Amino acid sequence: MRDKIDLGVIGGDGIGPEVVAEARKILRAALPEGVELTETEYPFGAKHYQETDEILDDESLERLAQHDALLLGAVGGDPADPRLAGGIIERGLLLKIRFAFDHYINLRPVRLWPNTTSPLANPGEIDFVVVREGTEGLYTGNGGSVRTGTVHEIANELSVNTAFGVERTVRYAFDLAQRRERKKLTLVHKKNVLVNAGVMWNRIVNEVASEYPEVSVDYLHIDAATIFFVTDPSRFDVIVTDNLFGDIITDLAGAVTGGIGLAASGNINPDGTFPSMFEPVHGSAPDIAGTGKANPTAAILSIALLLRHFGFEEAAQRVEAACEADVVEAGGAPRSTSEIGDAILARLA
């Protein structure tokens, strides 16, 4: 077990720094005795870009690479600012890190806690994990266009999928399913239309399945899957899917389980070659920044994923249990960001 975690912290924009501050309190309190924590803050984000013209240069990336893990709040500024149009920060910072640090697993647990208000009338018991592929698909930036302004203008987007990239993701998902009680894996794709990528995903799932005889496997088209997210989300255990489909269904899953204020994620490099990065699924929410209304629970749950990533399973479970107990008892009463953070902290003590 490691005795030191060297953490890089990017608070980011909007509510990002606010929720990250609470998450850091929890991390310090939850770390097992004897594990030393060092924290280095980085200013990156839309605001930093507006002030300095820097998004994330290679030297900064090199510095980030030295850490054991990264904690990210949220990035993205005022959508009305033309300098920020076109997702320049999202791609230049967030996606740049995911790709540079080979975060091929984007791990997104989905749980509906007792006493949480779901928009569904009968949500049932929801407890599943989405394993979203993180470095391929439509996210590789391999599209193109020439702006002519004529009707003949063409804009292409290329979804790139390699057997290497798909297989390592699928294996991770099977390993996870194997360790869970229900041992069920669902591949979500659109193989009847995306025949190249979809058929490859499907084939690899079937191949790897033979090594996991205890795991039952099924398949859903992405469109049909969204139906089950609202009619029968408890059917899911582990979902494995591509980068874009995973992006879509994890927002939907967050909404169904009471809001993405509770949705955590880990951008994981399972090989350990690069630091993994933990972040809430939600965005920078500029509309509520500074009001103290942001819910830090998603960021705090991302700390649990960080602890688990380093093998501190018991500490991870303590953080999750504290968050759950807090949500259950508070039952949606309005509290400030730090009130929620402190309440969860008190439960850890």
Ligand X SMILES: CC(C)[C@H](C(=O)O)[C@@H](O)C(=O)O
How far apart (Å, rounded) are the C-alpha atoms in residues 93 and 39?
A: 19
How far apart (Å, rounded) are the C-alpha atoms in residues 38 and 81?
A: 35
Contact status, residue 315 vs residue 30, Cβ threshold 8 Å: yes
Question: DSSP character for 336?
Answer: -
Is the CB of 189 or the CB of 347 nearer to ligand X?
Answer: 189
* Residue 184 binding: pick among its own copies, ligand X, none (C-beta 5-8 Å cut-off by kind): none
Annotation says 219 is catalytic: no
How far apart (Å, rounded) are the C-alpha atoms in residues 337 and 115?
A: 19
* Residue 120 binding: pick among its own copies, ligand X, none (C-beta 5-8 Å cut-off by kind): its own copies
Positions 151 through 170 that interact with its own copies (CB under 8 A):
151-164, 167
Q: What does the DSSP assignment read for 52-115? A: HS-S--HHHHHHHHTSSEEEEEE----TT-GGGGGGHHIIIIIIHHHHHTT--EEEEEEE--TT
Nearest alpha-carbon partner for 240 in 99, 107, 103, 140: 107
Question: DSSP character for 280?
Answer: E
Give Cα 131 distance to the centre of its chain. Answer: 9
How far apart (Å, rounded) are the C-alpha atoms in residues 136 and 165?
A: 7
Is the CB of 159 or the CB of 216 nearer to its own copies?
Answer: 159
Question: Considering only residues 38, 66, 231, 291, which one is a binding residue for its own copies as defined by CB under 8 A?
Answer: 231
52 binds ligand X (CB under 6 A): no
* Binding letters toward ligand X, positions 299-318, x by CB under 6 A: --------------------
* Binding letters toward ligand X, positions 275-294, x by CB under 6 A: ------x-------------
Is the CB of 274 or the CB of 278 nearer to ligand X?
Answer: 278
Active-site option among 42, 49, 104, 139: 139
Q: Which residues contact 346 (CB under 8 A, 6 or more apart)?
A: none
How far apart (Å, rounded) are the C-alpha atoms in residues 247 and 250?
A: 6
Kindly report the three-state secondary structure assignment for every residue of 37-55: EEEEEECCCHHHHHHHCCC
Q: How far is the CB of 20 from ligand X (least distance, A)?
A: 16
* Residues found in the chain: 349
Is 295 flagged in the annotation as binding? yes
The window from 21-29, 244-252, 302-310, 329-337 that contacts its own copies (CB under 8 A) reads: 244-252
Contact status, residue 10 vs residue 72, Cβ threshold 8 Å: yes
* Residue 145 binding: pick among its own copies, ligand X, none (C-beta 5-8 Å cut-off by kind): its own copies
Is 287 flagged in the annotation as binding? yes
What is the number of other CB atoms lying within 10 angstroms of the CB of residue 163?
12
Question: Considering only residues 122, 210, 271, 334, which one is a binding residue for its own copies as defined by CB under 8 A?
Answer: 122
141 binds ligand X (CB under 6 A): no
Name the β-bridge partners of 4. 36
Is 98 flagged in the annotation as binding? yes
How many residues line the site for ligand X (CB under 6 A)?
8
Annotation says 127 is catalytic: no
Question: Considering only residues 6, 41, 78, 90, which one is a binding residue for ligand X as defined by CB under 6 A?
Answer: 90
Annotation says 104 is catalytic: no
Binding site: residue ranges? 98, 108, 132, 223, 247, 251, 283-295
Residues engaged in binding ligand X (CB under 6 A): 90, 94-95, 192-193, 223, 247, 281
Residues engaged in binding its own copies (CB under 8 A): 86-87, 90-91, 95, 118-122, 138-139, 141, 143-145, 148-164, 167, 190-197, 199-200, 222-224, 226-227, 229-231, 244, 247-252, 254-256, 259-260
Annotated catalytic residues are: 139, 190, 223, 247, 251
